A and B are shown apart, each in its own frame.
Chain A
Amino acid sequence: MSQATLSPSHARHALGPWARIAALTVCALLTLGPVIWTVSTSLRTPAQSFDLPPKIIPTHPTTAAYRGVFDQLDVWLLALNSTLVTALIAVGQMITAGLAGYAFARLEFRFKKPLFGLVLATMMVPLQVTIVPVFLVLKSMGLTDTLLGLIIPAFPTAFGTFLMRQYFLGMPKDLGEAAMLDGAGPWRIFRSVYAPLAAPGLAIVGVLAFNYHWNEFFRPLILETSGQNYTLPLGLVSLQGNLGTGSISVVLAGVVLSMLPAVAVFVVGQRPLREGITSAGVNR
């Protein structure tokens, strides 16, 4: 992506520069507004939750709502579940996509094209269409209402495989050939030559997996029936149910808590996330 300071080619815009910056600022405020409101309301007392106009800086900031979340939800358990599920899926996808992507990019074997076609085709299949049989498969394995039942089906990733294949294809062939002339076998070539170069590609797969599965709601809703296996999004929605319209600052404090890791990944992994999303679209 080019980052030229000023692009004179686009300079003759319908709007003047100040009008454009003003318009973008208003849109950015509308985009971030709900998040800012959530954070600020979570720091207010319940009585002030509905203050209109909403005060961005709470007059008497309090962390009572956050204590309320910990009183009403086993936040540590939910966070532990979410962390376990998300981390294992992310690591699992990096391994499966790294290996399969390498095989499709650099190894020769029979049925390579049809097998790759099969992998690509599964990208088109919505999760919701297969959820009933997937539920039954997991039930026959005794994995419904376990965290493992959430983790294992998420290991294979068609998109991650595709991304890693592109990544390995982008690496020079000469490196592997040179290693081969030095007597390295196919495993050595992968392990010592190509695998170390794949780290940035694997980071994209990992960050995308983290972002998707940390926020995942549909599969946990169906697969996890007992509270001890809930992940954060499920806990939050149940928190709202228990309280009705009671204390909204407690619900919003829960939302803020669950957002924190996603925001951390956004700050640290913005670039791989952006690249992943952009290629997610471009490669479809």
Chain B
Amino acid sequence: MTSTQITTPVRTPAGQSPAPRRSPRDRGTRLLATLFLAPTLVGIVVFTVVPIVGSVVLSLFQWNVIDSPSFAGTANYREIFGNSTVLVSFRNTLVFMVFAVALQMLVALALALTLTGRMPVWLRSVFRSAFFFPLVLSAASISVVMKYLFNQDFGVVNWLIGLVGIAPVPWLTSENAAMATVVIVYVWQQFGFSFLLFVGGLNNIPKEIHEAASLDGATGLRKHLHITLPLLSPTLLVATVVGVINALQVFEQPYVLTNGGPGDSTRTVVMVIYETAFEQLRFGEASAVGVLLFVLIMAVTALQFRLSRRFVHYQ
């Protein structure tokens, strides 16, 4: 074996000088790196980087695919701000995000905390699997099922609440209830994600901290508020950031459950992108809506990280 084949000087056999910098092995490594990275990088450039730039450029044009595109300047953006459906869709999406994320965190946190108590191992894993199960199902088919369950006249949900004396609710057909229904269906399927994160986060909290707190007389709720939550705050941040990014992209549930209705009450931004581009063939305007959604996602995420400086405690 010759010294030129060795690239790490540390491992050079005694007495030999380190390999020259441009050895054949280096070239081999670089070639291998290029080959290994090519599929991923080419794919990311063609299907993500170019499309992002394309979205911004396209948003400045008017184009229906058939005729050649014509430069429109900020016309698409002005159109959006004058279009009540698009504005309503942004408001709906933000309302949806706030309620969906809040409910998702509450449910997931309550269940994760309840699950950490004394319990046989098998029972714990049964519960964990049950809460995680909806995540493996398709949002589209689940929404088909939920459409029947939330039917005003023959749905199981109205029958169930009827048992405790609540009058039937027009879940999908009234403007006020429809958004609530979309939130419920979405949270039902998604809370398992945050739940798994919280279960993992709670397992990482050192037991000694709780024991010390118990010795000091802290119990139940107080212990959770003053010890568990601050220690869990990095996980909470991750869960809300991911939750917010996902919620701002909601599509399947409102598309299948209500198709944006009644009126525009459950029309979301992604539904508007879909309809504008692929039903009305207004590609420029759809891209402009996409660009605004992207800016919104970035802004909300940045805001979360900013706020988190005050609330997140790292051990």
B226, chain A: closest CB distance, angstroms: 14
Question: What DSSP secondary structure best describes chain A's contact surface?
Answer: helix
Chain A CB within 8 A of B109 CB: no
Chain A CB within 8 A of B299 CB: no
Chain B CB within 8 A of A59 CB: no
| Interchain CB contact under 8 A, B196 and A133 | no
Question: What DSSP secondary structure best describes chain B's contact surface?
Answer: helix
Partner of B290, one of A131, A136, A216: A131
How many chain B residues touch A (CB < 8 A): the figure is 110
Interface locus among A64-72, A73-81, A183-191: A183-191
Partner of B138, one of A37, A38, A118, A215: A215
Chain A CB within 8 A of B60 CB: no
| Interchain CB contact under 8 A, B290 and A130 | yes
Q: Which of B279-315 contact A (CB under 8 A)?
A: 283, 286-287, 290-291, 293-294, 297-298, 301
How many chain A residues touch B (CB < 8 A): the figure is 109
* B contact residues around A110 at 8 Å (CB): 30
| Interchain CB contact under 8 A, B203 and A17 | no
| Interchain CB contact under 8 A, B6 and A161 | no
7 nearest CB pairs, A to B:
A156-B43, A133-B54, A215-B138, A133-B51, A130-B51, A14-B220, A100-B40
Binding site for A on B (CB under 8 A): 1, 5-8, 11, 25, 28-30, 32-37, 39-44, 46-52, 54-55, 58, 111, 114-121, 123, 126-127, 129-142, 144-149, 154, 156, 159, 188, 193-194, 196-197, 199-200, 203, 207, 210-211, 214, 219-221, 223-224, 235, 238-239, 241-242, 245, 248-249, 251-252, 256, 270, 273-274, 277-278, 283, 286-287, 290-291, 293-294, 297-298, 301
A-B residue pairs in contact (CB < 8 Å), sample of 11: A2-B203, A12-B214, A35-B137, A37-B145, A110-B30, A115-B37, A119-B40, A126-B297, A156-B41, A262-B137, A270-B129
Binding site for B on A (CB under 8 A): 1-3, 5-15, 17, 20-21, 23-24, 27-28, 31-32, 34-35, 37-38, 50, 52-54, 95-97, 99-100, 102-104, 107-110, 115, 118-119, 122, 124-137, 152-153, 155-158, 161, 177, 180-181, 183, 185-187, 190, 211, 214-218, 221-222, 232-233, 236-237, 240, 248, 251-252, 254-255, 258-259, 262-263, 265-266, 270, 273-274, 277-278, 280-282, 284
